């Protein structure tokens, strides 16, 4: 088995150092596709590439939109070019719980060609130190993270061109293998929920991007409902992480830059100004584009 990690990233300086370093503890190599980053992401990836010769490759995607299927197919092709037989799909804001570093490789190695592996997808809520553990859609959730390559395994958009939230390639046998059924055993920590500002910006951006790129595909109400779930804390209950989930990652948890400005805010403002407020009627955007627009128009030094 040659296990190659496939990571998409855009302006991820807040986390990519820790998350890429963590992935390198269990994959043989990793390909990072950088989608037009303007922050420190390229430098961080470059430094890790120098520190791990031959194990980190950075490729670029310069398209304006996050064309997910095309991006993930480019990653897969790059991973295949590096001799990958098995692949681990890991976003920059995700980290395997450290207690699974050895067992995950063993599980992936046992996959037959075309088989996939699901792991628990842990919503780290409000901080990297606890995860959501209630009756919401964010608890006891799973996602495909690994697969053994096989004939016909490819990333493609849907027939109508829709290509958002299509992390899993087509051509894999179902159901996917699932080695655990309880999130208390660990899985993959999803850090997008660890900072509320980032969470709001990301889901406001998702809502607006859906309407701009795929007008009429879904009703405004449905788009709003789907993404508003990320901010829904009805019945919220969280559980502290097991210390073993971070133990092998050194100071990674402390080095997360959770308060960095989310790049999504600039895109929210751009779409708001480019398309006009009326294009987003019916969306709950939590007042974000209005705040950003006011701040952008304020004269230099205002309020100081």
- Count of other CB atoms within 10 angstroms of residue 278: 6
pLDDT value at residue 304: 36
Find how far residue 288's CA is from the centre of its chain.
21
Q: Give pTM, 2 decimals.
A: 0.94
Mean pLDDT over all residues of the chain? Answer: 95
* Ramachandran area for residue 51 (φ above 0: left; ψ -120 to 50: alpha; else beta): alpha
Domains of the chain in sequence order? 3-119+143-191 (3.90.550.10), 198-233+259-297 (no CATH)
Tens-place pLDDT, residues 210-235: 999 999 999 999 999 999 999 999 99
Rounded Cα gap, residues 145 and 168, in angstroms: 8
pLDDT tens track for 25-76: 999 999 999 999 999 999 999 999 999 999 999 999 887 777 889 999 999 9
Digit-coded pLDDT (tens) for 172-212: 999 999 998 899 999 999 999 999 999 999 999 999 999 99
Q: Quick one: pLDDT band at residue 301, thresholds 50, 70, 90?
A: low
CA dihedral 214, 16, 167, 87 (to 10 degrees): 150
CA distances from 249 to 23, 124, 231 (A): 10, 16, 29
């Amino acid at each position: 088995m040659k296990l190659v990690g496939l990571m998409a990233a855009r302006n991820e300086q807040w986390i990519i150092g820790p998350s890429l370093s963590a992935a390198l503890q269990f994959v043989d190599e990793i390909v990072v596709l950088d989608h037009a980053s303007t922050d420190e992401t390229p430098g961080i990836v470059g430094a890790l590439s120098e520190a791990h010769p031959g194990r980190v490759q950075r490729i670029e995607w310069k398209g304006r939109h996050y064309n997910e299927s095309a991006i993930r197919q480019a990653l897969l092709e790059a991973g295949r070019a590096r001799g990958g037989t098995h692949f681990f799909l890991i976003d920059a804001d995700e980290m395997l719980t450290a207690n699974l570093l050895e067992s995950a490789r063993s599980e992936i190695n046992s996959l037959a060609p075309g088989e996939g592996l699901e792991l628990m997808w842990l919503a780290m809520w409000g901080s990297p130190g606890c995860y959501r553990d209630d009756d919401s859609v964010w608890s006891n959730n799973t996602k495909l993270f690994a697969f053994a390559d096989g004939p016909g395994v490819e990333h493609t958009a849907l027939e109508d061109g829709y290509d958002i939230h299509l992390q899993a390639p087509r051509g894999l046998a179902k159901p996917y293998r699932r080695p655990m059924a309880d999130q208390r055993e660990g899985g993959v920590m999803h850090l997008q929920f660890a900072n509320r500002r980032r969470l709001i910006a990301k889901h406001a951006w998702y809502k607006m991007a859906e309407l701009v790129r795929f007008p009429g595909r879904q009703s405004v109400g449905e788009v709003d409902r789907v993404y508003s779930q990320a901010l829904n804390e009805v019945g919220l209950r969280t559980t502290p992480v097991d210390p073993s989930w971070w133990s092998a990652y050194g100071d990674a948890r402390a080095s997360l830059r959770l308060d960095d400005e989310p790049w999504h805010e600039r895109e929210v403002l751009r779409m708001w100004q480019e398309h006009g407020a009326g294009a987003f009627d019916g969306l709950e955007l939590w007042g974000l584009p209005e705040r950003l627009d006011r701040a952008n128009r304020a004269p230099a030094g205002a309020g100081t």
